[in-house]
Amino acid sequence: MSENLKPDFNFVRVLSENETYKLLFPSKEVGMAIAILYERIVNKEFDDDKFSEKDIHTAFEEIYQTNMRYPKEVYSGHIMDLQEYFLDYDQEKQKYYFKDYANKFCLHAKDTLKGAFNPTRIQQICSHLSSTLKNSDDPRFWLEETFKKFEPDLREQLDFLDRQIVLSVEDLKNETNFSDHSFIDVLVATQERLSQSQAHVQELRSAYSETNNIRATLDNIDFTDPVINDLILEVHACLRYINDRLNSLDRKLDRIQPKVRKLFSTLNKPSFSSKVEKFIIHLLNESVLENRNIVFPGNIKPPQLHIDTPEFTIVSRDKDLFPPKPKERKTYVQNEEIIQENVERVKREIREMEVIGKWEKLIFAELELKGEIRLSAYFFEILRDSQSSQIAVTVLFNVIKQVYASEGKFKLLTEKTLQRDSEHKNIGLWKMSIIRT
């Protein structure tokens, strides 16, 4: 956790106090007035990006379109509320200007709705993060400042793609009242947009590939500071979130696209049947009979109903005169060295299974006897005894699996603090214990 944050800060409680939520997230009318002022600032309509109270009233009047005239006190009340987080007042020039929160509020909303797919920039950001981490003499600064600065940019591209898919489906739903021909056109356009979204997912996956180097670099650095360890966990969580979102978008597209293709095929069947029927009517109306032969209209050639069968000369082959060549019998020599390696590997796996089973029985026996055990301490004990991280991880996984399948007989407790071992300094494990209920 960052030292700049108060450990006793309760975000939900503070947000619910007094009028804090309303002041941070104003009503639709007030928010739209802020958006109007923001666009006018972006368009450089105000000197030094500062505006008068009359400009604020004008923005409110554009939103409050009603026959009733709102009293000045209503607008003044809104302006007073906005001065908490959105507006500041210049006493010397008697003008208002946006606070940083107002700029971020409007910019984030605008970027979210506008969307800007840019995998090249994501690749540049990931490469920059990877290179700065490798060359950094202060990993904590990189974790707290450099990575945190670009983390929103890494996430927003996923939100944009997700919104692009949702809008494609929504457009398809909104076109259901049009004619079949118009709907098919919309269906084709939707299919193309979804295919483009799938291509964008692959482009993003390629752009995010540099995050593997970031993860590897962090794993190779030995950090003893618990604060840095927590920050590293946050980075790993962010990278895992990115990968999970990409997989989620792939699955969503895999579910939607077959349904769109099926719907397109279903709607095309009546159109195809109608075209076939028109073609048959055209043949019936325009064809003529000459000398008992049907002459089709235009360049349509009559079907060829009979094809002469070609004659073949068959020459039989006498097997006695032309016996086949005998096939060489292959003999396979067994490689005793490989056989012995496979036998040893199987024996080794059987021994590992026996060791795993013994540790599981020991853990549950002590749990039945004492009623509580420190599972994370067992992990390092197993690691020291077996010198195999795979055995230690498998034992913990199997024990936790049995705890959750015990139907309330046992309970797993975890603490978000790392337990370490003097012999294995590069391995950290959450403190875990199991109690008998």
| C-alpha to C-alpha distance for 425 and 418, rounded to whole angstroms | 11
Longest Cα separation, the chain: 118
pLDDT tier at 179 (50, 70, 90 boundaries)?
Answer: very low
Of 96 and 201, the one with more pLDDT: 96
pLDDT tier at 119 (50, 70, 90 boundaries)?
Answer: low
> Is residue 239 pLDDT above 70, yes or no?
yes
pLDDT per position as a tens digit, 246-302: 788 777 777 776 766 666 666 666 666 767 777 888 888 888 887 777 777 877 776
Mean pLDDT of 408-413: 88
| C-alpha to C-alpha distance for 79 and 91, rounded to whole angstroms | 15
Mean pLDDT of 361-372: 88
Of 383 and 315, the one with more pLDDT: 383
In terms of C-beta density within 10 A (0-12 exposed, 13-18 middle, 19 or more buried), how is residue 28 classed? exposed
Q: Where are the domains of the chain?
A: 11-111, 117-274, 362-420+427-437
The predicted pLDDT at position 40 comes to 93
Rg of the chain in Å (alpha carbons)? 36
Topology, domain 117-274: Methane Monooxygenase Hydroxylase; Chain G, domain 1 (1.20.58)
pLDDT tier at 100 (50, 70, 90 boundaries)?
Answer: very high
> Is residue 37 pLDDT above 90, yes or no?
yes
pLDDT tier at 333 (50, 70, 90 boundaries)?
Answer: confident
Weakest mean pLDDT among 130-139, 199-208, 216-225, 293-302 = 199-208
Of 261 and 373, the one with more pLDDT: 373
> Is residue 41 pLDDT above 90, yes or no?
yes
> Is residue 241 pLDDT above 70, yes or no?
yes
The predicted pLDDT at position 116 comes to 59
| C-alpha to C-alpha distance for 328 and 37, rounded to whole angstroms | 90
pLDDT per position as a tens digit, 313-323: 777 777 777 77
Residue 316 has which token pair?
Answer: 């039989």
Give Cα 414 to chain centroid, integer Å: 28
Helix (H, G, I), strand (E, B) or coil at 320: coil
pLDDT tier at 417 (50, 70, 90 boundaries)?
Answer: confident
The predicted pLDDT at position 171 comes to 65
Give Cα 25 to chain centroid, integer Å: 27
Domain 362-420+427-437 top-level CATH class: mainly alpha
Domain 11-111 top-level CATH class: mainly alpha
The predicted pLDDT at position 3 comes to 45
The predicted pLDDT at position 101 comes to 92
Query: Same CATH topology for 11-111 and 117-274?
Result: no
CA-based torsion, 272, 274, 277, 282: positive or negative: negative
Mean pLDDT of 84-98: 91
The predicted pLDDT at position 189 comes to 67
Q: With contact defined as beta carbons under 8 Å apart, do 304 and 318 qualify?
A: no
Mean pLDDT, all residues of the chain: 80
pLDDT per position as a tens digit, 151-172: 887 787 777 777 777 777 776 6
Q: With contact defined as beta carbons under 8 Å apart, do 223 and 232 qualify?
A: yes
Tell me which residue of 399, 403, 398, 397 sits closest to 436, measured CA to CA: 403
How many Cβ atoms are within 10 Å of 362's Cβ, its own excluded? 15
pLDDT tier at 1 (50, 70, 90 boundaries)?
Answer: very low
| C-alpha to C-alpha distance for 405 and 413, rounded to whole angstroms | 15
Q: Which residues contact 55 (CB under 8 A, 6 or more apart)?
A: 37, 40, 46
Q: Give percent of the chain above pLDDT 90.
A: 13
Residue 148 has which token pair?
Answer: 């945190």
> Is residue 113 pLDDT above 80, yes or no?
no
Tell me which residue of 318, 85, 120 sits closest to 200, measured CA to CA: 120
> Is residue 176 pLDDT above 60, yes or no?
no
Of 369 and 277, the one with more pLDDT: 369
> Is residue 124 pLDDT above 60, yes or no?
yes
pLDDT tier at 39 (50, 70, 90 boundaries)?
Answer: very high
Tell me which residue of 85, 263, 109, 104 sits closest to 180, measured CA to CA: 263
> Is residue 86 pLDDT above 90, yes or no?
yes
pLDDT tier at 5 (50, 70, 90 boundaries)?
Answer: very low
